[in-house]
Chain A
Amino acid sequence: MSFLRRRKLFIFLIGFIVLVALIGFSLRDRANLTIAEQFVLDTVGFAQKVVHTPVNFITDIFTNIDDFRDTYTENQVLKEKLAEYKGLIYEVQGLKAENEELREIADLKESDQLRNFTPIQASVMSRSPERWVEQVTINKGKDDGVAENMAVITPDGMIGKILTTSSSTAKVQLLTGFDQFNRISASVSREDSDKDIRGMIEEYDEESGSLLFRIIEESDKDLKEGELVFSSGLGGVFPSGLPIGEVKEVVPDQYGLTRTALVEPAADMYDINQVIVVDRAMDEEEDTADSEEEAE
């Protein structure tokens, strides 16, 4: 009997050691998943694709019923907006032509622009049931050109970045799961581009439910509520011009030297179906992404 009891204790201890080793292994900064993990992710991904379709069909029916109720009011608003857009289109066409001319004069290539990117359409297959880990899985992977650290957006704004990839799936870390190690260089634009308010999205603060935008270069102190924060593209990982969120409040930091803006993410993090993975067009050396993370 004592042998049996000792054996159980032994197994428990070994289990504990394995646990610690596994956690240590997975919390390390891993660039790539092991082959076994990728295999599991691809297999489960395939099953998720199968399951996702009927589930999506059912949830769609419920959203459709909701949509019908709002259709009339929405239609009125949209008609008004459409009228506005017609004017805008002319303006945009003019600006585009002018922009191109200026670019030719300045001799810039397409890929030199921070703003340019190649979109990869994807749909969300599953969301991590563990609510502390803010991850979703999408149905595009390495084979479709998705790679680590690419930004992921919806039409409303940025929702996160690619964390890991396997050959046919990829995991997206949502903005709500960003910590100090995932920073986004961001800016609030001003009419005079030299006066843009630049800074860094540092992390997601769960208490206030918003992203912390540390303002580094504050030309004037007129940052107001409701202003849009965009990615600035200066960090070297994400392209510029992706909307991130709206300023909710501006608070001084504990030393009173800099100020931090609380930014509410523009995109809904809970109702995501279709996403676009942003492949930054600008040619860059392979090591830029790594070196930037170190530099920040």
Chain B
Amino acid sequence: MKRLYLPLILFLFLVMEGVALDLLPGSLLTGDLLIVPHWVLIFLVFITIFYDKETTYFSIIYALTFGLLIDVVYTGILGVYMFSYAFAIYIIHLLNKMLHGNIHVSILLGAVAVILSDISIHVIYLVAGVNDMMWKDYFMTRLLPTLISNLVFLVVLYPIVVKRLTTWGQEQLSRSNTL
């Protein structure tokens, strides 16, 4: 049963992302800034740092699944979020070996993950012709606001999830780690 917690929480964040923009004041939406909630990704970063061991790759599997779900539910262009999230989480998984998990490292890795995945999304959409934003505009109007807002979310979430993830990780991964 406990193994179902992670997918359920990720699913909850996936659903919450759809109403996330309602919670922001309207002036932010009509303005130039594009704030994109990457809450699923932030939680995946936590899973990578605190739940996964060096030899387990649950976070990447979740990144693939929930990236694909975001594609299906919110954009209709399959594969984009799936690839970007999995790629970003894989890099985080590599970096995590060198760093010890605490709040500063989480913020750093969270920032890296958001930047990597968002740029990757931008590049794929550019190639696919979904949008045609200039790089300079992209950095100022989308990447920066998105990064800051998601880091705020990360800091808020940190005290709530870290202990639980660590205990779940120890309970569930010490016995069997076949992945």
Contact = CB atoms under 8 A, between A and B. Distances in A.
B74 A130 contact: yes
Interface of A: 15-16, 18-23, 25-27, 37, 40-41, 44, 47-48, 51-52, 55-56, 58-59, 125-133, 135, 137, 163-164, 171, 270-271
B15 A44 contact: yes
B152 to A, nearest CB: 16
What interface size band does chain B fall in?
35 or more
B21 interface: yes
B125 interface: yes
Interface in B124-147: 124-125, 128, 130-131, 133, 142
A59 B83 CA distance: 34
Contacts of A271: 26
Interface stretch (B29-37, B44-52, B106-114, B163-171): B29-37
A19 B124 contact: yes
5 contacts: A44-B73, A55-B23, A125-B19, A127-B21, A133-B77
A44 B14 CA distance: 9
Given A26-B78, A51-B15, A129 B23 contact: no
B83 A127 contact: no
Where chain A touches its partner, the secondary structure class is helix
Contact of B79 (A18, A126, A131, A171): A18
Contacts of B89: none
B78 A23 contact: yes
B18 A137 contact: yes
A171 B76 contact: yes
Given A129-B36, A130-B36, A132-B125, A55 B73 contact: no
Given A19-B124, A48-B19, A52-B19, 6 more contacts: A22-B71, A23-B78, A44-B73, A51-B16, A127-B22, A128-B74
Given A40-B69, A44-B73, A129 B17 contact: yes
A129 B83 contact: no
Contacts of B22: 55-56, 59, 127
B126 to A, nearest CB: 10
B18 A26 contact: no
Contacts of B130: 132-133
B77 A26 contact: yes
Contact of B23 (A15, A59, A125): A59
B18 A133 contact: no
B18 A27 contact: no
Main secondary structure of the interface of B (DSSP, over half): helix
Question: Which among A27, A130, A163 has the greatest number of chain B C-beta atoms within 10 A?
Answer: A130
Contacts of B87: 15
B43 to A, nearest CB: 14
A136 to B, nearest CB: 9
Contacts of A125: 18-19
B132 to A, nearest CB: 9
Given A15-B86, A55-B22, A129-B20, A270 B78 contact: no
Contacts of A27: 77, 128
Contact of B26 (A18, A20, A51, A270): A270
A47 B79 contact: no
B25 to A, nearest CB: 9
B11 interface: yes
A101 to B, nearest CB: 47
Contact of A131 (B12, B15, B23, B34): B34
A128 B29 CA distance: 13
Nearest to B21: A127
A44 B69 CA distance: 9
Most A CB contacts (10 A, CB to CB) among B22, B69, B130 go to B22
A273 to B, nearest CB: 9
Nearest to B129: A27
